[in-house]
Every structure is written in C-alpha cells, then in structure tokens.
Chain A
Amino acid sequence: MAMFLPSGLTPDEVGFLCEAEEVTVIPRQRLEGLELLGGPTHALNPPFPTPLPLWLALLLKKQRRANISPPPWLSAEALTHILDFETDERTAEVLSPAPALPRATSTAPLEGDPYLSLDSLEFSAPFAKNAATSRAQQDALPYHWLELGHLLLTHASDDFDDPDTIRKLLRDLREVRMSKLRKGFKVLGPGAGIKMNGVGGMEIAEVRGFVEGMVNGLRKINRSREESRKEREAEDRENGLGSGSYQDDEDENML
C-alpha cells in the first residue's frame, strides 16, 4: 500500500471515538432499551431526559425523534468563564483543569490506595462518565470538548440558546489553547517532554504529527551522541552496574 497516513489518529478518528461519549437527550417518542454490542441503552420515555451515546443521539436527532440537551459546560456563560481563565495572565502557563475525577467507588477495606485493589475499576479521562451529559461539571472542559462541541453545533444547533456565540467561544478557546501548547514546544528536545494537564483529544491529534516529527528529527541529529551513550551503558551493564531499562521511546508518547 502506498497510502500515506500520519501516525496517530486522524481528526475523523478522534471524532469517531468521541461519538461513544454519552450525551443527554430529551426524547420525543418512546423507544425500548436496545441491546447493542457496546451494552444496552436506556429506554426512552418522553419527556424524561436520558443519557445516550452521541452517535445514537445524533441519529435520533436527525430523524427528529429527540432533542439533545447540551452539557452544562457548553453554554455561553460557562465557556466565557473558562475562556477568562485561559486568557488570564496569572494562568498563562497552564491549560484550564480537566473535570474532577469522581469519588472512588471501591472502598479500600483498610488504609491503602483504592486504585490498587483488584476488584476496583476507576475511570479517568477519556473514559470518565458524565463528561457530556447534563450532569457534567460546568466549569471544566472534558477530554472530547472540541469534537463534541463541533458535532453538537453542526447537527443540533437548534437545541442551543445561542449557537453562534458558543461557536465563537469554542473557536477562541481552541486558538488560545493551541497557542499555549505551541509555546510549550520551545523547550522540546530529544529527551524532554512537556507537561500539560487538561489537553483534549483533538488537540493531541493536532500536535502529534509536528511534535513527533520534530522529536524524531532531533534524535536523528543526536544519534551519534546517543549511540555512544548506549555503548557506555552497555559497558556499564556488562560491568554489573545496570542503570535499569531506559526507554526513550516512551517520551514521545507523553504528548
């Protein structure tokens, strides 16, 4: 195959993953719960708001069988608040924080880390529940914020109070956050990563190509030095002073 695909996910693929997020719909007609491969869906019973996967919600929306109620963070008020945070000088270094993790469901019987117990399954982004339903946190952008906002504004703009303002705010947010990410690239080196909390899925997909290419290029330039270092390490290991496994390949995945 002579097809060229950049490594990582394309925006379409990120959007596809985002369609598995649950959103809250206000059904317009009854529908029994469906037994799907991904798990059963909730029964629809108007007018009770029900969480459904985004792809199904969009399908029902197109058939005018449901309205989608936008998550609380996708409102003009909340987005303005987040944008204020992003443009504030005091927080110029960091992105706005991701939604808080839910309280641990599995209680550790005794002191210890609940995340370590075997029967617990704790979710964090991008698998956190209620990232885009009406119970979502109002003052934080979830992992799939850009894709989800875009999809909802494209297909369900009539369910928003003021879709144009929200569209504009999303665009502003995207630009200010991307510029923050780009600022971080200045310190990128062959072995260095940057720490950025709260980055969204689409933003990762967007910068991945550039960052990966650059890091690889830098590494090529530094190959001789690196090889000599590896040799030295090999020697050390032979001498019994193993410095552990050094995995520089992992670094580029940090972004």
Chain B
Amino acid sequence: MATRLRGRPAHAPGPTYLAYTPNGKKLITVGTNGAVRIFQHGSDDEPAIIDVTTDNHTAVVATNTFFLVGAEDGSVTKYSLLTNSMEEILVRCSLPVRDLSLSRDGEWVAVASDELEVKVVDTGDMTRIMHLREQSRPVKHVSFDVSGSMLAVSCSDGVVYMYSLSSEQPQLLKRIDGLVKTLETDAEASSKVAWHPDGRAFVAPTSTRDIQCLARKDWQRQKAFSGGHRADISAVKWSPNGALLATAGVDNSLCIWETRSQRLVKTFEDINHTILALNWHPTDNLCSYTNHNGELFIREDFVPSPSSSLLKIALHPAPMNNEPLSKISGNARKQADDRQKPDGVHRSVEDQYLDDLLGPDAMSEDDAGFIEDDDGAGYAEVPNGFGKRAAGAVNGLPVKRHQPYPSWRPQVQEAFQPGSTPWRGNRRYLCLNLTGFVWTVNQETHHTVTVEFYDRQEHRDFHFTDPYKYDKACLNEKGTLFSCPPSAQSQQSATLYYRPHETWTTRMEWKTQLPAGELVISMSLSDSCIVVMTTAGYVRVYTLFGVPLLVHRQKSTPAVTCASFRDYVMTVGTGPVSGDGTTRLLYSIENVRRDEICQNEDVLALPEGVELRSVFFSDKGDPCIYDTSGVLLTLLHWRTPGQAKWVPLLDTKMLERLASGKKDETYWPVAVADNKFHCIILKGGEEYPYFPRPLLSDFDFNIPVSSMPANKDDDEDKELAHQKGLEEQFVRASLQHSLQRDLVENTNASSAQKAEVSMMERGVDKVLLQMLAAECREGEERGMKALEIAALMRDRTGKMLEAAGKIASRFQRDILGDKIHQLAERRLVGLVDEEEM
C-alpha cells in the first residue's frame, strides 16, 4: 500500500508534464516556469534543475541520454541527460507545440503543433524532416507505434490519421473517423492514441468516455474499457507489458484496468487536480503523474497486491475480439513478433535455477497458472492427461528463460483444419470448398453459423444460432459436421455434431461427446466416414450416422491435419526433426473399411523452410497438398505401400499472369477437380479470404518442367515455347495416365474408367507424335532425338510407330524413317522390351 502520498511541487501552478527515461532511472518534469527538473528514481533528494530560456512547456519525451522539451513558443529543444545542459534547438514551429512522440529507438521525434502539419524530425540530424500534411486542422496529439514505423495523429477535427513512415515518403494509411472526440488543441481532455506494447492494437479515448481498442491490421473496433469515467479522459497509458491500463479523467479520477477482462482494478479517490500526464515506471510497480497545478506525484505500490503480479508478465496480448485460441483453432498463424511471446512469464532467477536443475519440463505446468479460465474461453491451457501440452500450443508456450539464454526447440508446424480461416473482425470461414461454405459470426455470447451452397437447387442454405461456439466444420454433399471445444460453463466436453442434408426419415442429427479433456485438432468428412484427430493422440473414425468404427493412436504426434475420401483416410502428424530445425511431417493413408494401410508414416515431401498449407483429395480421389511456396503436389502410386511419391502439378509462382512482375497475389487452395486447381486469388498480402466471399478461380495444371522463353514475340522463341509446351504436356499426360492406371488396377473400376486409361495412353502417344513432328521440322541433325522420342511410344500395336514413320517420310527424313520401321518390327516380335530401353 502507498505509504505516503505527497505532491512534490515541481513547477509553478499550471500544466505540468513528465517523462521517464526508458531505463527508469530518471524522471523529467516540465511546467510553466522556465526550469526543467530531473528526479532520480528511488531517491528523495532534491531534483536536478536545468534553467531554460523557454517557459510554458507543453510536452517532454526522453531517451536514456537526452530529452526533448516542447514549448508554447513553438520550439522543441534537445537537452543532454549526461551533462544536464541544453544541446540544441531541434526544430522551431510558428505556433505552440502541443505534443511530442519519440520512436522507441529514439531516432525520430514527431512534433504536433498548432500548425496544420506534423513534423517528424531526426533527433540526431535536425535537417532530416518529414512533413505529414493530410490533416485539415491543427493536431492535438501524435503517437508512434512500438516499431516506430507508424504514427497515429489525433487531429482536432476528431479524426485519427494513421501514417506509415516505413518508406521515404510518409504515406497516409487510414483516416479513422468517429473514434475520438473533437477537441481544441489546448483542451485538458486528451484524444491521444496509446499503442499496446504488443504492437497489434491501440486504444483511444472516445467521446462516450470509454477507451476503445482498435486492431492495427484492419482498423476494426475490438474490445473497449467502458464505464469507468464520468468525464472526458485526460491521459491513457499502458503498463510496460500491456497487462494493465491506467487512465485519468478531467473529473479528478484515476483508474487502473485489467487488459484481459477490461475490468476496473482500482479507482483512486484522492486526486485533487486533473492529471495531465501519466507514466508507468518501466520496471517497478510505480506510477507517476503530473497535474494541472504544477505538482508531481510518485505513487509507489500503484497496482494493489492481487493484480500486481500482472506487472510481471512478459507481454500480455492486446484485448482483441476473437483472439485465436492457441490450442483450439489451429489456424492462427504465428505472430511475426518474435521479440517476446505473449502469455509468457518473467521468471525469477531462482526459477531459472530450478529449471536448470530439473530439466526443461519440470516446471512447465504451472507457467500459465495465473490465468483463470473462468469464462471457458480457453485462455489457460489445460494440460491433458499426460501433463503435456497439446500439439497446437507450441507457439503459445511461455518462454522458458530470459532472452539471453534461449533454449533451442524445433519449429513445429501448427495444426490446422483444411479450408478454414482464422478470425478476422468477428467473422471467419469454418469451411470453404466446392460444395459450399460455412461461416460463423461471433455475437459475444453466442455464434451464428451460416451454411451456404453453390448448388442452390440441390440443397437449401441454412442458418442457426450456436450456443456451443463451434470452431471447426466440414461440409460435403451429404451433410455438415461441426465440432466445438469443451466449455467450462456448461461442463460439456468437446462435442461432434453431424447434420445430414437430407434423409428419408425425419432428420437424423446426432451429437457425440469426446472423453473429458480431449480436444479436436482436425477432422474431416467424406462420403462414408468421419475422421477426428484429438489432442489425446487418437484418430477416431465414425460412420456417417455416428457408429464408432475405429479408434487408434496416431503414430506420429502431435497431429497436424487430416483429409479423407470415401474410405481412404490420410492423417498428417509431426515426425522427427530434420537438419534445418523444423520437424518433418509424416503422413499415413489407410482404408478404414478394409482396414488396410496404404502408406505408413511416409515423409510428406516439403523443402526447407516451406510449410504445409492445405491437404485435400482431388475429385478423382488422389491426395493433394499445397504448400506455402505455392506448389500443388499430388501423390502418385499411393495405393501400393512404399511406392508413393509426390509429384508437382502446378507451381503458382510460375503462372503466366505473374510473369509481368506487377501483380502481387497469392492463391488460397480450395480443391482440385476437373484437372484444374481451384483457388481463391488473394491480393495485397492477404493470407486468407474474407467477406464478401471472393470468386473461385481455376488454373490448368502446369508441371514445372522448364522455364518459358521471355520474349514471346520472337518467331524462334515462339517455336521454342511450343516445344517446351509439348514437353510439359507429355509429362502431364503421362502422369495423368499413371494416376488413372493406378485407379483402375486397384479399385473396382467402371468400364468407362478402363476405357479412359487406353484413351489417355493414346493421348500420351499423340503428344509424342507432335514432338516428333517438331523435331523433324528442325532438321536432319535432330534425328537421334526424334528416334528416342519414337522409342518412348507406349502403344504396343504398332499403329503409333507407323504414324511416326509416316511423319518422318513426309519430312523426307528417310534414315529416321528406316530406323523407326526397324524399331516397330523388333517391338512387334517382342525383341525390345522396356528393360532394354
């Protein structure tokens, strides 16, 4: 508890401002009189005083070595903290300076004055100035984000301007209207934006006296801290780790909020003057503020004891809606921020010592214990039955040690549900495929799920209110499968819910609950079975009507994802660590009806640094994968154990539409059907499709055989491109032929499918004939290659070789014609077989 609280008369009565140095050793205050005071942290001695030539100071910012003071005469002056003396006048405005903001590295300072433009000045070289001129009225506040690449400018017209400073020319990213109140530049109330330390969100005081959080990614409103103030807000500051928020109002109020629940932790009653500036101490449980009366208050034990432990968390995530839950929705991509992981705990030296003694896992269970999972939203990670965390949580694991001693851990591919997207705003797609799409909207207390179909005649769209908050779904022609995580409120464990689209009896929906503590990692629905992979390492197979067929423990865990087609089930799990520090992915394919394993823990071929993006079966029933490098691969000979190999079908980076280099787009895989790759085109660095639902696009397969000549207009190049095209066509036709032959040999194929095999074989030979013709046209000297091409012919009846001979004679390549004729004869009597070739 605060032992004593006395105002330190720092300056003459009037507006007073303060700043801590980032190391927390010094505190600088400025006020209306012509002096600057520098307090030593933890010392009650009289502060150092620098007499300055300016008075009526309006802002101060500090680094460890210098500080900058803005004054009403329009000057921004730089003072050294090493010598406690003035260094230079950094910039001079024609009108009073209103606010300063320093980038975290201390290199740039943004100056808001009553002029229309905001100046961003290099603190080391005052000749380097950027001007931000988009606002129409004077600016009240400026605020750099954590990375220093973005500046939030709160203008007196009630608009927040977001500038990107990462390029040479500052760019206006967004005008956020209706967020902050319209305030005069000299008003006591504040409209300053406060960036959350994790960099993904910021808060700003609104006209309704709430503190509204907005996401940096899409500028959507997130959660709000509301109901704490009865008057306008004059100062807002995040605690250094973002777990707490301190706010002050013009009605002499001061509040502390908890970030996670947005609840008030404490309201202070003993404030006599409006607080104008407020600063947390960078490390201690201490907060200082200055008021309108020239006084400085240093409040020790600022946060009351039960919540004060929150100050010790490494970095608390910003209060966003629909935060991807690290374990359950495996779709959340890793945050780019690798400085510190959210939810981790700064551990004391003793803890580290213990860790060293006990080994890496001994203390891991109580890491997250300070978070109470009281609303069942999955903040806390419940260790499963083995005291281990589940697969998906790997990126959310707390940092074991301080940064100087990072323990090595392999990079594990996160689990995901094919065809789903993470939350964005309050919406996400649970499933998107060629049948239709399932999306859900977060309505705080419940979700609403909508299922829409492409074929509106066959199926009827439906919509329902979902109290269970389903987070995964599968959709096909026969029905829809949902699953929800366990809920602490209703004491319900994870549930599967299947809803058939049509029945000949009354609708037969069913639900089944998984054993307590088990969570669904990934699931899939085929025409004849349901496959669920759980955190307990089980693969559970059900029939369409809920009869459990099979439960087995997956060999490679943690599980990543699964897919199924009819009775074939493909499961993907994490395997051993490979040379580049990532774990290999292993897949198994089995037929659950016949209980046969087709491929057993085979390696999913991914090059270094490339992750799996999606797994699905093509419409013909061949497994396909799409990876983060934009390559679509299919599995050849997968029905024979040990014979499987991954074959590329399409490299989207080599698509012709990207050849100009102007387009920046990626492709979000949807399906492979009709010998085409169906996908959604994502532009502008998007990673996932969003609403309104984008159109499906399709691309023909194009096996990356060779690069296309650059100059398309040249005749010679055109001919070359034609030949390369034929070569690609040959490889593709042979691949499709062998896929179809596999299918016919291993299943009860229909006669149409069998006929297709011989048709495809003829197709391959036709491409070879065209290649032969192209070679013959080139000239006599290409005869060897032409003969080689003729020898590749698959046809055993001799007709194709006869045709090849005709082509040779038409081009008057007589020697070649003779050789082809000999080859045909030897083949006919069986002298040449494939081994010899």
Contact = CB atoms under 8 A, between A and B. Distances in A.
B698 interface: yes
A69 B810 contact: no
B458 A29 contact: yes
A209 interface: no
B461 to A, nearest CB: 11
Contact of A46 (B454, B695, B810): B454
Given A47-B434, A48-B673, A110 B456 contact: no
A69 B695 CA distance: 9
A180 interface: no
B17 to A, nearest CB: 49
B295 to A, nearest CB: 58
Contacts of B674: 48
A65 B457 CA distance: 9
A47 B696 contact: yes
Question: Is chain B's binding surface mostly helix, strand, loop or mixed?
Answer: loop
A166 to B, nearest CB: 16
B457 A28 contact: yes
A28 B456 contact: yes
Task: Count chain A CB atoms within 10 A of each CB in B455, B722, B773 and give the residue with the most.
Answer: B455
B673 A29 contact: no
Contacts of B673: 48
Interface in A7-57: 26, 28-30, 46-49
B515 to A, nearest CB: 38
A interface bracket (residues with beta carbon within 8 Å of B): 10 to 19
A92 B695 CA distance: 37
A46 B456 CA distance: 9
B458 A30 contact: yes
A47 B678 CA distance: 10
Interface in B449-484: 453-458
Interface in B663-713: 673-674, 695-696, 698
Interface in A64-83: 65, 69
Contacts of A46: 453-456
A210 B606 CA distance: 67
A109 interface: yes
A244 B773 CA distance: 43
B270 to A, nearest CB: 59
A65 B455 CA distance: 9
A248 B673 CA distance: 57
A71 to B, nearest CB: 13
A109 B810 CA distance: 8
Interface in B403-456: 434, 453-456
Contacts of B810: 109-110
Nearest to B698: A49
Contacts of B696: 26, 47, 49
Nearest to A47: B454
A28 B695 contact: no
A201 B99 CA distance: 65
Contacts of B456: 28-29, 46
Nearest to B676: A48
A26 B434 CA distance: 12
Interface in A102-157: 103, 107, 109-110
A29 B695 contact: no
A46 B308 CA distance: 58
A30 to B, nearest CB: 6
B454 A28 contact: yes
Nearest to A48: B674
Given A47-B434, A48-B673, A48-B674, A28 B698 contact: no
B258 to A, nearest CB: 44
Interface in B752-809: 773
Given A48-B674, A109-B810, A110-B810, A29 B698 contact: no
Contacts of A29: 455-458
A30 B773 contact: no
Nearest to A44: B455
B455 A26 contact: no
Nearest to B670: A47
25 contacts: A26-B695, A28-B454, A28-B456, A29-B455, A29-B456, A29-B457, A29-B458, A30-B455, A30-B457, A30-B458, A46-B453, A46-B454, A47-B454, A47-B455, A47-B696, A48-B434, A48-B674, A49-B698, A65-B457, A69-B695, A103-B722, A107-B773, A109-B810, A110-B810, A110-B811
Given A28-B456, A28-B457, A110-B811, 14 more contacts: A29-B457, A46-B453, A46-B454, A46-B455, A46-B456, A47-B434, A47-B454, A47-B455, A47-B696, A48-B673, A48-B674, A65-B457, A103-B722, A107-B773
Interface of B: 434, 453-458, 673-674, 695-696, 698, 722, 773, 810-811
Q: Which 9 A-B pairs have the closest CB atoms?
A: A29-B457, A47-B454, A46-B454, A46-B455, A28-B456, A109-B810, A29-B455, A47-B696, A29-B456
